[in-house]
Amino acid sequence: MKVSSSNFKSNARQALDDKQLQSALNHVRNNFISKRSKARLDLPEFDALRDNARAIKDHTLEHLDFYLEHYERKVVESGGKVHWAADAVEARGIIMDICRKTNAKTVTKGKSMISEEISLNEFLAANSIIPVETDLGEYIIQLRGENPSHIIAPAVHLNIDQVRDEFRKAHTHLSPNRPMNEPETLLGEAREILRGKFLTAELGITGANFLVAETGSSLIVTNEGNGDLTQILPRVHVVLASIDKIVPTLEDLAQITRVLARSATGQEITVYSTLSTGPRRKEDEDGPEEYHVVLLDNGRSSMLGTEFSEMLRCIRCGACMNHCPVYQAVGGHAYGWVYPGPMGAVLTPSLIGVDKAGHLPNASTFCGRCEAVCPMRIPLPKMMRSWREREFEQHLVPPAHRKNLALWAWLAKHRRLYRLTTGLAARILAIRGGLSKRINKLPMAEGWTKHRILPAPEGATFMKLYRRRLRKGR
Amino acid sequence: MSKIDKKGPSSKVALFVTCLVDLFRPTVGFASIKLLEDAGCQVHVPVRQTCCGQPAWNSGSRKDTRDIAKQVITIFEKYEYVVAPSGSCAGMLKVHYQELFRDIPEWDSRAERFASKVFELTSFLTEVLGVTNVKAKLNSRVTYHDSCAGLRELNISDQPRKLLKSVDGLSLHEMNDSEACCGFGGTFAVKYSEISNFIVTEKTENIERTEPDLLLAGDLGCLLNIAGKLKYQGSKIEVRHVAEVLANMCEGKPIAGRD
Ligand code: SF4
């Protein structure tokens, strides 16, 4: 996927002007937040479960090599194979290899952010293999040639009219006069088409919400059941996951899933939670003949032991972006790569470099709502600040901003000059504000005054007035 | 001037004025002093104070932040309590200073000790001093915006509301999403002004829908932002810092409204 994170500002401006997008984003603003809040209130032990989930992941990350090796052993014992991929190129190569050996022409896919991370669809298509997204949201954006704008609701930036138009364009074999008003009819239409694909695909690729070291299983949670068909029907099943998905035991997995769906959609549990372990056994009635796991690192192991390692606890629930005022304003595409919102603001610079994604950790008010709702208690604002520190150290901050900051900091350390400056500023601004106390324009603060008035100061600084008061003995 | 400093360590509460109050809204400083004195405190205003260093901290300059933090700690640590009329600055002093010196044990422990002395104004009044009532009167329909840092770093939410309920004539009406950010975010408001504008517009819409006479909050940053937008939109709603109302000091012009 092409990176356009450095265009964040212009992406955001476009998004803010996009009326259709703004109306679609109301879904995020209204539904996700209230649903999560209700789910949380309905479960008194929710916060205790969060602590527990956090502890499980912290422990796992501390012993990541151990659990990954254990997981591999278990996969092999159950008849599967684990492929280690250091980066996107390796991961794609491995998948291509499996496709070739399978002689795959059509590949069905369950929802996977890792697939986005390694641009798998473009790659498969370029190699004459047809990738078919089977998650409804993913299917829709695949038709539109778009990328997901949300990690759990990939098509949340669209409204039903756009989906209808897209289906009309794509499903030309159906009557143009068919009823298409209800979301359910559109769902039915997609389902009908996908059913045929499920049956023809030679290979199915799913992501994984978790990998279980104890059993060598992978878990996917979905609401449509498409993941099940993707992994059961084709002859070969490939699980594509990153190394941070590992948890030690099934019990741990059960603990963490209790906070996952509640944080994501406000559901107690998703409609389907499907574990898959190895290929079909003799006694099984269905299942794939081959079972592969492609384990991607892509920069994650180098986050371990740094100030960003806590990010690896993330379970991709999306709560942080749902509650983020910036995400709510501009949607996911503005962030310019796979992962949007606060989690993206931390993860993206880690994975593609802060030089390319420098805007993301800066485009935050540090309101802290993301951290407050994160089920894994990831200190997202703190890590965004760490990125800002790195940018500052590496001189990636615009020189003008750096100069202003240095000047201000110098003043803050020199009290007398500070007093002189603030005293002058208060007076000048007060005069500029006039009787109505409105400052309509101010050099260097156009960003402010373009959209707001600057309320003028009262006139003298507190320090000055206080001194005067002391002199008068009150 | 040095008189106040000389009173020295016997002093009880030191007021951290905050740079925005100093520059834009001295009334909030005097209101804070009045509230603290009415509650029986001896209030000191160390004259060497400037700013808490948050602009440097949020811009990624650890060195400047450390320098300023050291300065603040040195000036204020001799007092029993340090009180700021701002959740954001109090959060900086109380929460963030502790993250600054992990590798300098001496300063790390000084920052930790210092943190235990620091309070936001309304939380200090209610939780430390046990104030339940203020002597104030204001016939007004009021709504309250929860500033992010105060709310999420210091758990400030009930404290100002409890005190406001004791104001004679005042009725408090909650707006929708009072816990949502106002879009200020320090330099964010200038650097990402369009996004900031979008967020503050949502905020003023929620405020307008509540039809208050007066909007209150505990942080001048948010207040300037929201007031600036309300003024821009030509709204008649008045805007003040919560301390002004609690201290019964609403004679002067509000931050917005009543032009
Ligand atoms: S950072 Fe936290 S809230 Fe955001 S997606 Fe990850 S787990 Fe969910």
- Express each pLDDT in A377-391 by its tens digit: 999 999 999 999 999
> Beta partners for A85?
A296
Residue B220 pLDDT greater than 60, yes or no: yes
Q: What percent of chain B has pLDDT over 70?
A: 95
**Residue range B221-229: average pLDDT?**
97
Cβ contact A363–B188 (<8 Å): yes
Q: Please list the rounded mean pLDDT of every run of 10 residues in chain A (474 residues).
A: 92 97 92 94 96 98 98 98 98 98 97 97 97 96 96 95 94 91 91 92 97 98 92 96 98 96 95 96 94 98 97 98 97 97 98 94 97 98 97 91 92 95 93 84 81 92 95 78
pLDDT band with cut points at 50, 70 and 90 for residue B224 = very high
pLDDT band with cut points at 50, 70 and 90 for residue B170 = very high
**A-chain residues near B50 (CB < 8 A):** 411-413, 415, 418
pLDDT at B258: 67
**A-chain residues near B150 (CB < 8 A):** none
How far is Cα A276 from Cα A397, in angstroms, rounded to an integer?
47
Cβ contact A389–B60 (<8 Å): yes
- Can you spell out the DSSP letters for B59-120? TT-HHHHHHHHHHHHHHHTTSSEEEES-HHHHHIIIIIHHHH-TT-HHHHHHHHHHHTTEEE
**Distance from the alpha carbon of residue A309 to the mean position of ligand 1, in angstroms:** 14
> Among B1, B29, B194, whose Cβ lies nearest the Cβ of A467?
B1
* Chain A interface mutation, best of B1, B5, B22, highest count of A Cβ atoms under 10 Å: B22
How far is Cα B242 from Cα B248, in angstroms, rounded to an integer?
10
pLDDT at B119: 98
How far is Cα A46 from Cα A40, in angstroms, rounded to an integer?
6
> Among A382, A408, A457, whose Cβ lies nearest the Cβ of B24?
A457
A393 CB-side CA count, 13 A: 9
- Express each pLDDT in B113-137 by its tens digit: 999 999 999 999 999 999 999 999 9
Residue-range domain boundaries for chain B: 4-127, 132-246
Residue-range domain boundaries for chain A: 43-298, 400-471
Nearest-CA distance from B198 to chain A in Å?
A: 7
ipTM of the complex: 0.94
Least confident range from A8-17, A434-443, B72-81, B205-214: namely A434-443
Nearest-CA distance from B225 to chain A in Å?
A: 8
- Cβ < 6 A, ligand 1 pocket: A 263, 314-320, 343, 374-376, 378
| Domain made up of A43-298: CATH architecture | 3-Layer(aba) Sandwich (3.40)
Say which CATH class B4-127 falls into: mainly alpha
Of residues A291, A302, A200, A199, the one with CA closest to residue A241: A291
User: Can you say how many angstroms the Cα of residue A468 is from the centroid of all Cα atoms in its chain?
Assistant: 54
**Closest chain B residue by Cα to residue A416:** B48
Fold observed for domain B132-246:
Rossmann fold (3.40.50)
Q: Which of A314, A326, A360 to mutate to test the pocket of ligand 1 (most atoms within 8 A of CB)?
A: A314
A315 CA: nearest ligand 1 atom: 7
**Distance from the alpha carbon of residue A263 to the mean position of ligand 1, in angstroms:** 9
Instruction: Mark which residues 160-219 of B lie under 8 Å from A by CB.
Output: 179-181, 183-200, 202
Cβ contact A369–B256 (<8 Å): no
Structure tokens at A338: 């796979």
> Among B23, B197, B259, whose Cβ lies nearest the Cβ of A457?
B23
> Among B45, B50, B62, whose Cβ lies nearest the Cβ of A415?
B50
**Distance from the alpha carbon of residue A151 to the mean position of ligand 1, in angstroms:** 10
**B-chain residues near A381 (CB < 8 A):** none
Regarding pTM above 0.90, the answer is yes
Q: Which long-range contacts (CB under 8 A, 24 or more apart) does A183-186 make?
A: A186/A160
- Express each pLDDT in B13-69 by its tens digit: 999 999 999 999 999 999 999 999 999 999 999 999 999 999 999 999 999 999 999
Q: Which of A323, A374, A377 to mutate to test the pocket of ligand 1 (most atoms within 8 A of CB)?
A: A374
Phi, psi of B83 (to 5 degrees): -120, 135
